[in-house]
Amino acid sequence: MAQTHEHGAHADHGPQGILKYIWSTDHKIIAMQYLFTGMFMAMVGGFMAYVFRMQLAFPGTSVPLYGVVSPAEYNALITNHGSIMIFWVAMPVLIAAFGNFCIPLMIGADDMVFPRINRLSYQVFLLSVLVVLASLFVPGGGFGGAWTSYPPLSANSAYNLTRLGASMWLTAVALEFVAFLLGGINFITTLMNSRAPGMKAYDIPMTPWMIVIASIVFMLSVGPLIAGAIMLLFDQNLGTGFFDPNRGGDPILWQHLFWFFGHPEVYVVLFPAIGMVIDIIATFARKKLFGYKIILYTAVATAVLSFFVWAHHQFIAGIDPRMANIFTVTTLLISVPIAEMLFVSIATLYGGSIHLTTPMLWALAFIGEFLIGGVTGIFLGASGADVYLHDTYFVLAHFHYTFFPIAIIGTFAAFTYWFPKMFGKMMDDRLGKIHFWGTVIPFNVIFIPLFVLGLGGQHRRIYNFQNFPELQHMQPLRILATGALIVMLFFQIFFFWNVIKSWISGPKAPKNPWKANTLEWTADSPPPHGNWPPDQLPKVYRGPYEYGHPDAPEGMDYWPQNLPPQNQPARG
Amino acid sequence: MQKPIATTRSATGIPTGRLAVWWVLASEVVIFGGLLASYVMHRLGHPEWANAAAGTNTWIGAFNTFVLLSSSFTAVLAHQAAEHGDGKQAARYLFMTIGGAATFILVKSAEWTHEIREGFTITANGFWSFYYTAAGLHAMHVIAGAIVMAFVARDAARGRELQRVELIGIYWHFVDVVWIFLFPLLYIAK
């Protein structure tokens, strides 16, 4: 409280009481709104996964807490699981929540450049959440045409039987895009213009860099899909024929518009996760980041290449084989900068003084698990192999080996790392480690069997495998995957217990519990409105990863970005 | 609301508002780009759409092009007045631009009413679907821009936030440029 009083003049303006939390323009409060909404949606999406995995393991039986799953409900569940986990969990948490929290704090600014647009961004996002949740309960049920929403199935209610559900799903996705365009413009402009005095481009920590690169990729890839969403909405509701081949339209056009966004979207969520993982690795290896510029340039190379790989999702959609060759080459090419980024992060560990804290465990797990996702992607990017593997569980397992490390492992790494700054309390390391192993081991037990199932020819969009006698013998693998999922969901209890326990009765967090260099650790935990007193905003004198530097002040293996050089004691 | 210190900083040397407007335009370019690329690909695959395109009225389109370009001219004059610190004059020019926008929308309404009466509805054929979708999306941008411009003009008349006159002008030129693409693609190509 003393802190608030000290610079009370700055903290006083703005809404009071409960409005402080729902009508605030403070970037940290907006980050919390995104974070908690994203966590809630993660529980919704996780519950959906539980229900349809139960149906796959024990077809036709009543699922505890849900009941018997009908074929239409099954389709709605997988569709909304995918959409929710990508659009309403990965994006709001990785980009919006951590972007909002980290960017101003890590570049030494008191807020975003447009605080009210920031608030509007969350409000539009919240509206999209309400629309997508409501779409599950309208007559006809939720949309069941997969998160890719291919026409003609999605364009015509005579085929998908969810007239309202399909349009509401599409509207919700479009609103979500608007929210992230508003947020993205804020992030990009803030990073470009509002850095602390002295902070040059190569002094910016990786987390803000990566979130901003992700925002640019998102902004430049989502436009055609927004146009496509308008066209699809008109097809659904006005009776136009943009995607109807009988009327001069082209269903493949949607696939182009969708994947022109859909593939860069993978990198949109990957970049923030990898940026935060890199920051965590440098902090807990107590070593200067290896190859700062290499990481940055490979990220930019990945971002550029990501616009030229989309048609690898369409190898069996009837595209020209010559085009398939080109997209095979670009797709295999893009694994080069990504692999470089991951291996350079490993190089940071070499010779470091590694502290295996909970955030560090998550960060290391991210590297290991994402590598599996990346390597299996090579098989799918090669058009020859893809013809066999397309739309099998191999694709599904590959996808989850990329997105689970990004959206779940990356998020937990970031959450446990910045929790002391966000809430002013330290988390329980023992509970954190139980939660870590209880999540990462079952994750592999879920998805390795799915690779095997996919190689065995199991198609992904099947409601009941009892109808396919040749796939019957693999039922034990399906039961194993479902069992592991339930174990993993159970271990999330440890996470929530840890959060609540630490929040209420955890030890108070100092300003800089991890002895990190970046600017957010020079603010109070949690930082007040305005982050620093208005006359004491930090200045920057060096890069963010000066660990173990010989010129650092005596007795410190780190050298915060804001410490003026003259403060160092004379050496020798 | 008091502006944060972050908003007043300018590490790039470009004022924050102008920087943000350019990024808004970048996101708009890809939205219209996606739509127009889809249209052009379809048009090339359907030479028979030229028959439908013959139903558009090039003269009305040309008139609207003239109106919109003139409204951009007054937006430039408004910027010039704002640069000289003359908020009242800037507001007058902005209201003239809004007048251009209103003329554009009125002419377009009359044009569409006529076309719909003749049976050229959005579902008539692929060309007309693109015609109404692309021109409609553009018209939404005209209307939204005019509304925002009214707020900017109100502030400018009181001598406040004069830098916004330039920002809304940049946006207005963009709306203009989109129409420069739409006019030949929808009206002249027959």
Predicted confidence (pLDDT) per residue in A96-130, tens digit: 999 999 999 999 999 999 999 999 999 999 999 99
Q: How far is A115 from chain B (nearest CA, A)?
A: 8
Give the mean model confidence (pLDDT) for residues A242-269: 94
Q: Is B30 touching A (CB cutoff 8 A)?
A: yes
Asked if residue B152 lies in contact with residue B168, where contact means CB atoms within 8 angstroms, the answer is: yes
Closest CA to A390 of A480, A311, A309, A478: A311
Q: How many CA atoms lie within 13 A of A435 on its CB side?
A: 23
Instruction: Give yes or no for a contact between A69 and A51, defined as CB atoms under 8 angstroms apart.
Output: yes
Predicted confidence (pLDDT) at residue A377 exceeds the cutoff of 80: yes
Q: What is the predicted pLDDT for the residue at A6?
A: 39
The answer to whether B110 contacts chain A (CB < 8 Å) is no
A194/B9 Cβ within 8 A = yes
Given a cut of 50, is residue A204 above it in pLDDT?
yes
Q: What are phi and psi of A468, to 5 degrees?
A: -125, 90
Residue A239 to residue B10, Cβ atoms within 8 A:
no
The token duo for A24 is: 């605030």
Contacts A–B by Cβ distance under 8 A: 142
Residue B28 with chain A: CB contacts under 8 Å: 223
Of A184, A222, A238, the CB nearest to B123: A238
pLDDT score recorded for residue A14: 61
If you write DSSP's letter for every residue of B149-180 in order, what string do you get? HHHHHHHHHTT--THHHHHHHHHHHHHHHHHH
Mean pLDDT, rounded, for B89-109: 97
Mean pLDDT of B46-70: 95
Interface test with chain A among B2, B128, B129, B181, by most A beta carbons within 10 Å: B129
pLDDT at A565 over 50: yes
Q: How confident is the model at residue A248 (pLDDT cuts 50, 70, 90)?
A: confident
Whether the pLDDT of residue A300 is over 90: the answer is: yes
Counting Cα atoms < 13 Å in the Cβ hemisphere of A425 gives 14
B-chain residues near A26 (CB < 8 A) = none
CA distance from start to end of chain A:
43
Count other Cβ atoms within 10 Å, centred on residue B54.
10
The minimum CA-CA distance between A194 and chain B, rounded to whole Å, is: 5
Radius of gyration of chain A (CA): 24
Whether the per-residue pLDDT at A13 is higher than 80: the answer is no
Q: Among A194, A253, A260, whose Cβ lies nearest the Cβ of B6? A: A194
Instruction: Indicate whether B21 pLDDT > 80.
Output: yes
pLDDT at A144: 94
Residue A566 has pLDDT above 70, yes or no: no
Would you state the pLDDT for residue B1?
66
Task: Measure the CA–CA gap between A175 and A98, rounded to whole angstroms.
Answer: 20
Q: Rounded CA gap, A176 and A179, in Å?
A: 5
A14, A228, A241: residue with CB nearest B34: A228
**Greatest C-alpha distance within chain A:** 84
Q: All domains of chain B, ordered by start, with CATH?
A: 16-188 (1.20.120.80)
Contact A193, B9 (CB under 8 A): yes
- CA dist B67 and B72 (Å) reads 9
> Using an 8 Å Cβ cutoff, are A348 and A287 in contact?
yes
Which of A110, A224, A250 has the CB atom closest to B6's CB atom?
A: A110
Among A226, A241, A534, select the one facing B129 at the smallest CB separation. A241
Which band of pLDDT confidence, cut at 50, 70 and 90, is reported for residue A7? very low
The predicted model gives A504-524 an average pLDDT of 96
**CB within 8 Å of A317: residues ≥ 6 apart:** A252, A255
Give the mean pLDDT of chain B. Answer: 96
pLDDT band per the 50, 70, 90 thresholds, residue B140: very high
Percent of chain A with pLDDT over 90: 91
Beta bridge partners of residue A547, listed in sequence order: A558
Contact A13 B42 (CB under 8 A): no
Note the maximum CA span of chain B: 58
pLDDT at B129: 96
Residue A344 is which amino acid? V
- For residue range A461-480, what is the model confidence (pLDDT) as tens digits? 999 999 999 999 999 999 99
Residue B72's pLDDT band (cuts 50, 70, 90) = very high
pLDDT at residue A246 greater than cutoff 90: no
Measured distance CA(A218)–CA(B90) in Å, rounded: 36
Select the residue of B19, B31, B123 nearest A189 (Cβ to Cβ). Answer: B19
Over the stretch A421-462, which tens digit does the pLDDT of each residue have? 999 999 999 999 999 999 999 999 999 999 999 999 999 999
Q: Place A567 in a pLDDT band, splitting at 50, 70 and 90.
A: low
Distance (Å) from the alpha carbon of A142 to chain B's nearest alpha carbon:
27
Question: Whole-angstrom Cα distance, residue B136 to residue B140?
Answer: 6
Q: CA-to-CA distance for A487 and A458, rounded, in angstroms?
A: 24
Q: Which of A116, A199, A530 sits opposite B1 (nearest CB)?
A: A116
CA distance B6 to chain A (A): 5
Residue in B1, B29, B38 to test binding to A, most A beta-carbons within 10 Å: B38
Alpha carbons within 13 A on the beta-carbon side of B45? 13
Q: Is B26 near chain A, with CB under 8 Å?
A: yes
- Asked if A238 lies within 8 A of B37 by C-beta distance, the reply is no
Average the pLDDT over A378-387 and give the result: 93
Which residue of chain B has the CA closest to A226?
A: B31
List of domains in chain A: 24-567 (1.20.210.10)
In this prediction, residue A555 has a pLDDT band, given cuts at 50, 70 and 90, of confident
Q: Which residues of A touch B9 (CB under 8 A)?
A: 109, 193-195
Q: What pLDDT does A358 receive?
A: 97
Confirm or reject contact between B51 and chain A (CB < 8 A): no
Please indicate whether, in this complex, the C-beta atoms of A248 and B11 are within 8 angstroms of each other.
no
Report which of B17, B189, B133, B68 is spatially closest to residue A242, judged by C-alpha positions.
B133
Q: pLDDT, tens digit, for every residue of A62-82?
A: 999 999 999 999 999 999 999
Give the percent of chain A with pLDDT over 70. 96
For residue A228, name the pLDDT band (cuts at 50, 70, 90): very high
Q: What is the pLDDT of residue A319?
A: 87
| B19 at interface of A, judged by CB pairs closer than 8 A | yes
Of the candidates B11, B35, B42, the beta carbon closest to that of A195 is on: B11
Q: Where are the alpha helices (DSSP H) in A194-320?
A: 206-237, 251-285, 292-305
Look at residue A321 in the predicted model and tell me its pLDDT. 87
ipTM over cut 0.85: yes
Q: Please count the CA atoms within 13 angstroms of the CA of A356 that sit on its side-chain side.
A: 5
Q: What is the pLDDT of residues A261-290, one digit of tens each?
A: 999 999 999 999 999 999 999 999 999 999
* Chain A contact present for B124, CB below 8 A: no
Q: Is the pLDDT of residue A10 over 50?
A: no
Average pLDDT over chain A reads 93
